[in-house]
A and B are shown apart, each in its own frame.
Chain A
Amino acid sequence: MRAALRCRDLAHRYGRDVWGLRDCDLDVPAGRVVALVGPNGSGKTTLMNMAAGLLPATTGSIEVVGDTPQARLDRIGFVAQDAPLWPRMRVGDVLEIGRCMNPRFDAQMASDRIERLGIRPRSRIDALSGGERAQVALTLVLAKKPELFLLDEPMANLDPLARREFLGSMFEACSGTGATVLYSSHAVAELERACDYLIVLRGGHVRLVGDIDDLRMQHRVIRGPVGWLDRGGWDVVSEQTMAGQTTALVRRDDTLTLGPGLQDASPTFDELVIGYLVDGGTARPQEVFA
């Protein structure tokens, strides 16, 4: 298995004691569509920026497609939050710069895509809507034909149809070339369709990482009268009590038997993600390597 992104003991410290990311160990297999999820300030953007070669590692190491990000810049397609582009330039000029600076740039594909989206090459960037600007940035990145896409909330400004169109382009890029996509989003409901690999960050730590179907297999949601958790020795991720019933996301353990009155189900994608996002226990080493 070739890793598209590999982090070992990776950390970045912003101030004297402000850690953007800590103890980060990750192996993202090539060809996956990876959801990067976490509350604001959890380290998503820090990780993206480090993978894009824009932020140095304070400790540890990060590898993109087998080398340092700086050595792999031509294989990385990065769109930062809010798709920043030079505001006074025209769309056509932005694409031309992309062509000049990237040896594998597919200029035909880029201009075709812009035309299909109804964006005029003569329009200035600052005259575009947020959604159109995002589309121009994504077009630049798609035309670059990278092996690793790093997309920081790429769909935040897109309407539902444009989101679908964008995901389609993304999927096409993956299935055609085996590229890997790492993309962050707060729209958890959308991620289940789009992604097959999940990274949950919280407070600068990796709380969960793995193949989404595997992760769902490895967890259960159990519900029962208050107090059931105190018996039985479940490995609890998070729990919630409401109206006399305690619902908990636990790590599956087939050696344990369910007591009477307990309901047991496989977690939905939302339950899995939310279960790791909420403040419900401390990160343990096995979670990091799960």
Chain B
Amino acid sequence: MFRVDAGSGVPIYRQLVEQVRRDLMLGRLQPGAQLPSVQEVVDSLAVNPNTVVKAFAELEHQGLVVRRQGVGTFVAPSPPLTSMSASPRLLGSLARWTDRARQEGLTEEQIRMLLEVVLDGSTGTDDARRTAGGVA
């Protein structure tokens, strides 16, 4: 379930924490689900066990997982995160929009840039539209 992008600006333990958060928000991980053991993560990623322990400790600190001594690490019964699983319509329209963008010849990188431009342009969409026109 984990991937590591060594060489990115994000420390590896942070990457692991973010991946669990994302899977929780997307509903891929449900309350009560068991996470892999430290040893399993170490074996599959060839990362240092201290890094994995640190990631799990951070997840526990955030209240997202609970550790049961000798049993394993589990997703907390009610993790303090807003799940996104309740918005299939939103996902669907984003998927349709992405398809259209691809049909218009935008690369994945350009699509990401557009999304960032729209997210950053909190003052209004005019800026976003202008920039978007430039990118396209």
Binding site for B on A (CB under 8 A): 31-33, 164, 167-168, 171, 174-175, 189, 192-196, 212-213, 216, 265-270
Q: Size range of the interface on B?
A: 20 to 34
Asked if residues B50 and A193 are in contact (CB atoms below 8 Å), the reply is no
Contact of A196 among B4, B7, B9, B50 (CB under 8 A): B50
Q: Does B18 have its Cβ within 8 Å of any Cβ on chain A?
A: no
Chain A residue contacts of B107, Cβ below 8 A: none
Q: Does B38 have its Cβ within 8 Å of any Cβ on chain A?
A: yes
Residue of A174, A196, A213 ringed by the most chain B CB atoms within 10 A: A196
- A212 to B54 CA separation, bound complex (whole angstroms): 12
Q: How far is the CB of A55 from chain B (nearest CB, A)?
A: 28
Chain B residue contacts of A32, Cβ below 8 A: 50
Q: Does B12 have its Cβ within 8 Å of any Cβ on chain A?
A: yes
Q: Which residues of chain B from 1 to 19 have a CB within 8 Å of any chain A CB?
A: 4, 6-13
Chain A residue contacts of B6, Cβ below 8 A: 189, 192-193, 269
Asked if residues A193 and B49 are in contact (CB atoms below 8 Å), the reply is no
Chain B residue contacts of A265, Cβ below 8 A: 9
Asked if residues B12 and A193 are in contact (CB atoms below 8 Å), the reply is yes
0 or 1 for each of B72-86: is its CB under 8 Å from A? (1 = yes): 000000000000000
- A207 to B122 CA separation, bound complex (whole angstroms): 43
Stretch at the interface among B25-33, B40-48, B61-69, B90-98: B40-48
Q: How far is the CB of B15 from chain A (nearest CB, A)?
A: 11
Asked if residues B48 and A196 are in contact (CB atoms below 8 Å), the reply is yes
Asked if residues B9 and A213 are in contact (CB atoms below 8 Å), the reply is no
A-B contact pairs, 30 of them (CB 8 A): A32-B50, A33-B50, A168-B42, A168-B43, A171-B48, A174-B49, A175-B38, A175-B39, A175-B42, A175-B49, A189-B6, A189-B7, A192-B7, A192-B12, A193-B4, A193-B12, A193-B48, A193-B51, A194-B46, A194-B48, A196-B48, A196-B51, A196-B54, A213-B11, A213-B13, A266-B9, A266-B10, A267-B9, A268-B8, A269-B6
Q: How far is the CB of A122 from chain B (nearest CB, A)?
A: 31
Please name the residue on chain B nearest to A216 by beta carbon. B11
Asked if residues A269 and B42 are in contact (CB atoms below 8 Å), the reply is no
Chain B residue contacts of A167, Cβ below 8 A: 46
- A32 to B43 CA separation, bound complex (whole angstroms): 18
Asked if residues B9 and A33 are in contact (CB atoms below 8 Å), the reply is no
Chain A residue contacts of B4, Cβ below 8 A: 193
Question: Could you list 4 further interchain pairs (A-B, Cβ under 8 angstroms) beyond the known A174-B49, A195-B48?
Answer: A174-B50, A213-B54, A268-B7, A269-B7
- A175 to B38 CA separation, bound complex (whole angstroms): 10
Contact of B47 among A174, A194, A266, A267 (CB under 8 A): A194
Asked if residues A171 and B42 are in contact (CB atoms below 8 Å), the reply is yes
Q: How far is the CB of B55 from chain A (nearest CB, A)?
A: 11
- A243 to B35 CA separation, bound complex (whole angstroms): 48
